[in-house]
Structure 1
Amino acid sequence: MPRLIDQKFMFPRVPVAVVDIGDTLEALLIRATLESLGAVVTLHLPGTPQDFLTLIGAGDLVHQYVVICGHGDDNGFVFGEYCEGIDTSMLVEESMPPSVIAEHARLDGKVVVSTACETGGKVFGDAFVESGRAALYVGPDGSPEGTDAPLFVHCFFHALLARRQTPAAALDRARGYDGAAELFVGYQSGS
């Protein structure tokens, strides 16, 4: 992927993709937080489940860091209802399961953080890291309080961007913030 102009500045800005799949207020808060940390943020608003699959399957066209903002349930990422004519065949009870993620994700070497409840289990880690080839996938293994997810993302990216820590070290630091942050678990390639 060619470097964005912001990466060529004297003080380069790191590109981060924020993907809003159903929690716009959280996505906008996280966008502002990341920009305050010096990132250049692209906000993606996939309108359909297929749009989301196109995004996570785009390989080098996707930024190095991806934050998925949305809701989750026992089935996966919640997408909700759509009008007739929109392909929802990949959803199970209006949610996208990890098996579909595994089939479509092409995130070679990317760092992916999900704020959606229940998307931090091993099956999601495998879908993004083993099948999708992400370097690191982080998500909540449970249902964090709504305000805890943006705080976790802030702590993670503060360690990553401001403190220049590795993604693994940034995860450890962010998880150490408090008990609620421990709900966020990470899966790395090769581990």
Structure 2
Amino acid sequence: MIDQKFLFPRVPVAVVDIGDTLEALLIRATLESMGAVVTLHLPGTPGDFLTLLAGGELVHQHLIISGHGDENGFVFGEYIEEIDTSMLIEGSLPPAVIAEHARLDGKIVLSTCCETGGKRYGDAFVKKGGAALYVAPDGSPEGADAPLFVHCFFHALLARKQEARAALEKARSYDEAAAMFVGHWGRR
């Protein structure tokens, strides 16, 4: 990406809006204020989302999934009959389907979606999908807590140039809601 060759390089970050547009736009603006160049992805269907996760080299090094989650997975909701939703459970995309499609070799993935931080999700993104780090809430943070966590994490990562492990610990230490975000690490 050409922005990385600038005198003051800009880090490319992808924000994927799967159902919380206001949050995604806030996160985009926050990242841009820290010097990142942000690509906003608006997948219209669960299949589009899976295509993005399978993108391999075409996916930016940093990927943020903005949306909602529940006990079944990433919430997509209902679609017209012509849209393939066979991979959804009660309108949500489970981690087993992510594991089948994700090709995120060495990427840092952060989800703001409630209930997507458990071991099954970590395994889907890291063990099966190849991500270097997957971060998500293992619980249900309040609406404003997720963008605040994203800001703290990426401020440490981009503005302070901290390693991902230190950035995660810094962001998690902000308060109890931030501590709800857990990291799943790939091989070093």
Query: Which TM-score applies when normalising by structure 1?
Result: 0.98
Equivalent in 17, 34, 37 of residue 37 of structure 1: 34
Structure 1 residue 5: Cα displacement: 1.1
Distance in 2, matches of 1:24 and 1:42, equals 14
Matched, 1:116 2:113: yes
Q: List structure 1 runs of 4+ shifted beyond 2 angstroms.
A: none
1:6-39 Cα distance to aligned partner (Å, 9 max, x none):
1110000000000000000000000000000000
Q: Hey, what's the Cα distance between the residues in 2 that align with 1:102 and 1:45? A: 21
Match of 2:173 in 1: 176
Q: CA deviation at 1:103?
A: 0.4
Gaps in structure 1 of 5+ consecutive residues: none
Find the counterpart in structure 2 of residue 8 from structure 1.
Answer: 5
Runs of at least 5 residues in structure 2 that lack an aligned partner in the other structure: none
Q: 1:84: how far off?
A: 1.1
Question: Is 1:137 aligned to 2:99, yes or no?
Answer: no
Match of 1:81 in 2: 78
Matched residue, 2:92: 95
| CA distance in structure 1 between the partners assigned to 2:126 and 2:168 by the alignment | 16
Secondary structure, aligned partner of 1:41:
strand
Q: Please report the RMSD computed on the Cα atoms of aligned residues, expressed in angstroms.
A: 0.7
With the length of structure 2 as denominator, give the TM-score of the two structures.
Answer: 0.99
Q: SS state of the match for residue 82, structure 2?
A: coil
C-alpha distance in 1, partners of 2:143/2:98? Answer: 24
Which of 155, 159, 167 is the equivalent residue of 1:158? 155
Deviations 1:117-137 (A, max 9, x none): 000001100000000000000
Within 2, Cα distance between the matches of 1:171 and 1:122?
17
SS at the partner of 1:99? helix
| 1:190 CA displacement | 2.8
The SS at the match of 2:32 is: helix
How many pairs were matched up? 188
For the residues of structure 2 that align with 1:53 and 1:9, how far apart are their CA atoms?
32
Superimposed CA distance per residue, residues 52-82 of structure 1 (whole angstroms, 9 cap, x where no aligned partner): 0000000000000000000000000000000
